[in-house]
Structure formats: C-alpha cells, structure tokens
Structure 1
C-alpha cells in the first residue's frame, strides 16, 4: 500500500492501547510512545526504497519489499521503531511500545502489502516467492479515506480521539474484507465459465469496486477480460502464451531478466534485435491489463555481452491516457 495508508493504519492500531481509558484523560509517556512507535513501525520497511540498485527494474523488484518486509526480520524493524520512540519519550516503558510496534508492523504494513496485487516477499530469506491476495490495488482511496476521516475527527475532537481512530480502522477493515469476499465469489464465477482452465485468477481493477480483471490460462493461450457481480465474465482478448524459445537460456539467466520473469505471473514476453548486437526484451504481465492489453511492462536493453544497458517500466501511458482508453471502450455499445 501507499505510505499514507500505512501510517494511518499504524496510528489507528496505536489507539488500541488502554481502550478503557476515560475520554479526555491525559496521555502517559508510554501512550505517546506507543502511538509514535506504531506509526514508525508502519513506515520503516519502505526505507528500502532508498537502497541503491543497478537500474530502476532491479530497484522495483529486488531492493524494494526485500528483507525489511520479511516476517523473519520483523522483530528487528519493530525494535528500531521502539528505540526511536523511546528516544523521544524517555519515560515510556519498553514492552508496551515494542509489542505495539510489532503489531503495527505486521498489520499496518506487511498485511496491506500482502493484499495488494503487486505482492510481497514475506518469507525471505527462506523463499524468494512473491505472495499476494489480490484484493486491492497498491493505492486504493476507499481503504485510506475512512482512516483519514478518523484521524481528522480525532484531531478536531481530542476528547474522543481514540474512538474516532478505531471507527475509521473498523470501516477500512470492513471494506478490505468485502473485497476479499467479492474476489473469491468472482473467481468461482470465472472458473464456472472456464471449467477446463489450467488456472484462473481475478485481480482488482483500477479505481473500481465492482469491476475486476481476470486471466484464464489455457494450454496454449491466455484469456483476459473483466467480471462484475451479477454479470457473466466478459472476454476481451486472447493472447498466445510465450514460447520458451522467445528468450534463450542465457538471456533468461541475466539477473534483471530473471527478476522480471519471476515477477510476471502471466507473462507477455517479446524480444527484438537492436543495433550493435543489442536485444530489446519486453516483459509484461496480464494481471495488469486494460481490456486485454498489458499496462505494466518492463523494457530491458540487453547488450551482446549480456549486460543490461537500460531498464525501465512502461505503464501504458499517463493516468489521463489510461482513463481515456478506459472511457473510449466503455462508451462503445456492446454488439
């Protein structure tokens, strides 16, 4: 998730301490440290975006959501958040702050990253696999808005700040739970439409609650489309599954190429020769598609010595262009 949502979730979780405290009662140093430690723990893992990387693709796929996002490393991150909070509030007690920081790290950062479509490597260093629940996009205003409103009310009505934060947390959690139920329901519907499919996956669509994207894996091709409650799955495009010979074994072994292929769960792969023996490799993923056309594609320029001279992420156009493409197809009457 985005950093604003992580921080607001951490703040709301910090309000869980001493729910029996009378409204308007003064906060103890430990109460204040718990709030600060929870917010810090919810934000600290994303400091890995500052780590150096060979190129933007390696940064997006290796540096970010690495060890700082792993369950095995969580006690260390929580300890760092606790230490910073105790430096500010020196009279606070260690254990409540550490427990709250650990809870906030798990529930306000690791779990939200898990329910996004991008996924996260929770099991590092034991497994490099990206895990995901595919419930929301990385940025979902309907997750953030209840938390933001709760924080605003807590700031204005400080005697009831704890209740305001917890109500916002409950509303946000209910929305995410609804999306999880909806995804499971729509996945079953797509499976019923494609009983012979090797695999079926339903993904969140950009800024939409009811319309979801799906990908069906058949022996030789992908079927991409959308599905909504109360409507049958709409097939939008079929694409051939990439043949193994599209990339040589040596090309697949290039670290950046290997990372991009590991990231793409439904890869759309192509390569084309360039000047001076260079090969341009394009690796997209149909889980990010707009009417069957991938909108996220890693473009890698690989030299003849198998070094990567350029690597970039193409998003299928600007936000305005993507919205216009979506509207254009929506306005075309169905046959």
Structure 2
C-alpha cells in the first residue's frame, strides 16, 4: 500500500495495543515509524530496473525478519520511554504493526516475498488497489479523533476506524471472488478454463475491476463493474509476443519478470529494442513496469551485462479518470486512448 496508508495503519494498530499505558501521541509516533520502516527498501538501487522492482518487498517484508526485528524496536521504545516493564506490550504492538503492514501489501497485486529467505515467491492477492481512500480514510479519521479527543473513551474512535477498514478488506476479497466467477463464465475460447486469470480493482475503488487472461500467444483485457446490468466480461485481444518470449526466455531479467508477474507479461520489439512489460499494473496500452532490454546482437541474443531500463508510462489522468467513473457506473464505453 501507499506510504500514507502504512503510516496511518501502523499508528492505529500501535495505539490500539498500547492503549492508556503510554501517551497516545507516543504510541502513534512509534507505530507510524514502524509502519513505514519495511518500505525503506525502495532507497536501495540494485543498478538494474528489473532488480529494483523484484527486490522491493523482499527481505524487508519477510515474516521471519520482521519477527526478529520486533524485539529490537520494542527494546528501543521501552528504553527511550523509561518503561522497561512495557517491553512485552511494545513487542506485541510492533509485531502486529509489521504483520498488518505485510498483510495489506499481500492483498495488493504487486507481490510480497513473505517467506524470505526460504523462497522468493511473490505472494499477491490483488483484492485492493495500492491506493484506496475507502480503506485509508476510516483509519485516518479514527486515529485523528482519538488523538484530538480528551474523552476517556477516545480509543473507541480508533477501534471503529480499524474495524471499518478491516471490513472493507473482507468486502474486497468477496467482490474479487464474484468478479472472477463472472469472468470465467465468459473467457475467450482460446483461454483454458483452468488458466489463472488476473482480477484486480481499478484505481481508488473496489467497484470497477480489471481482468486479464492469457493464452500462449495472446493476452486479453476486460472490465467488469459491480453496477453492470449483465454479468458478462467483454474482452479485447492483444499479441503477447510468443516468438520473443521463446527466443529470450533464458535471459535472467526476462525470467525474473515471468516469475514475478506470475506469467502476466508480454514482450515486444520497437525500433530494434526488445521490451518486456508486467501486465498487472496499468491498463492497455499504458503500463508502469515496462522495461527496455536493449537491441539484440547479430546472433539475435540480448546482452546479459546490459542493465534493464524502465520506460513505463502512467495512464492519462485527464481522459482516464472520467472514463473510469463512467465505466464504474455501468456504462460500457471503450477505454480512452493513452498518449
């Protein structure tokens, strides 16, 4: 999730656990700091755009390493607060802050390597968009009310915010399951009914969902709003670059994207350069994680020493946001062109 959400969630969880044992501002500050700590791995530059992508949410988001880090944070908080008797309570608070951080990250589509160092498999459910105000605002309002109130019952505000946001996460999981069932009933004939399909919410909401299915040679994009009159997904077909995939499948960077995206990727050749694109984030034809792998040599091989370069682009908000609203409300209009 985005930084604001993780900071707010960390603070809210810490306040809920510590209660009246320490000043509310203190537990909120510690929780906010711990809530954003796992995401500091973004400052590390691995010298390659694909590595920067696939190494984010790796060791810093591993259940084992975060569990090990929890007593370190707890000891520091207890020592600085001169309350060694609260070490166990701080330990519970920090552990829950870390666990809720990686839980909501797992529910996004990006991929979170929860079981490092045993496996680098990127777990990702994709039931909530990386920025969703309907999840964040209840947390933020509840926490703010708790911090500002002088009432003895101030902690109820924080609890209500956590409860509403948690219910929203459950709603997203249920909506995703329903949309997947609709999508599977209208799969293209070239896609196996046993194939994995990608079902993710569109930006800032959980009403309009984007669906992607793949065959060996093509990928298919469809949209479904929970407000649509008919339970049908209409698909657009796009070439996946099967020849390029077969030709360069042994390239480490391409193999990494294939694994990290769970197979939801495409390859293209433009102006002599080979590109690989993660199809999970963005929508046709604008994708954020689009990587230039360079020009093949005279033998048709890519330079293994050349770093990949990210050349993605975001959707045009001027045309994209009005279309998202129209499609969300059940109007079956074609996605706007992206320039």
Give the TM interval when normalised to the shorter protein.
0.7 to 0.9
Match of residue 17 from structure 2:
17
**Corresponding residue to 1:227 among 224, 228, 232:** 224
1:142 aligns with 2:139: no
Deviation, 1:76, is 2.4
Contact in 2 for aligned 1:70/1:124 (Cα 8 Å): yes
Match of residue 238 from structure 1:
237
Distance 1:34 1:289 in 2: 37
Deviation, 1:309, is 4.8
Deviation, 1:185, is 1.0
Match of residue 321 from structure 2:
323
Gaps of at least 5 residues in structure 1 are 20-26, 275-279
Deviation, 1:184, is 0.7
Contact in 1 for aligned 2:134/2:205 (Cα 8 Å): no
Match of residue 2 from structure 1:
2
Deviation, 1:117, is 1.3
Gaps of at least 5 residues in structure 2 are 298-302, 335-339
Q: Deviations over 1:185-222 (max 9, x none)?
A: 11111112239532333111112331101123346433
Match of residue 300 from structure 2:
none
Q: Deviations over 1:17-68 (max 9, x none)?
A: 366xxxxxxx444987655443333221112112231034322221x21101
* Matched positions, count: 317
The CA RMSD over aligned residues, in Å, is 3.0
Distance 2:276 2:218 in 1: 16
Distance 2:186 2:314 in 1: 29
Match of residue 259 from structure 2:
262
SS at match of 1:85: helix
Match of residue 119 from structure 1:
111
Q: Deviations over 1:55-110 (max 9, x none)?
A: 34322221x21101011212223233223323431224211111211111101x11
Question: In the superposition, relative to structure 1, how do residues 309 and 328 fare at CA in structure 2: closer, same or farther (>3 Å)?
Answer: farther
Match of residue 55 from structure 1:
48
Deviation, 1:325, is 6.4
Contact in 2 for aligned 1:183/1:203 (Cα 8 Å): yes
Contact in 1 for aligned 2:219/2:237 (Cα 8 Å): yes
1:130 aligns with 2:119: no
Question: In the superposition, relative to structure 1, how do residues 6 and 156 fare at CA in structure 2: closer, same or farther (>3 Å)?
Answer: same
Question: In the superposition, relative to structure 1, how do residues 333 and 283 fare at CA in structure 2: closer, same or farther (>3 Å)?
Answer: closer
SS at match of 1:17: helix
Contact in 1 for aligned 2:78/2:87 (Cα 8 Å): yes
Normalised by the length of structure 1, the TM-score is 0.82
Q: Deviations over 1:288-332 (max 9, x none)?
A: 353x43523422243654322551141244543543665798988
**Corresponding residue to 1:173 among 142, 166, 169:** 166
Distance 1:162 1:316 in 2: 40
Distance 1:80 1:321 in 2: 48
Distance 2:176 2:102 in 1: 20
Distance 1:242 1:127 in 2: 29
Question: In the superposition, relative to structure 1, how do residues 269 and 261 fare at CA in structure 2: closer, same or farther (>3 Å)?
Answer: same
SS at match of 2:290: strand
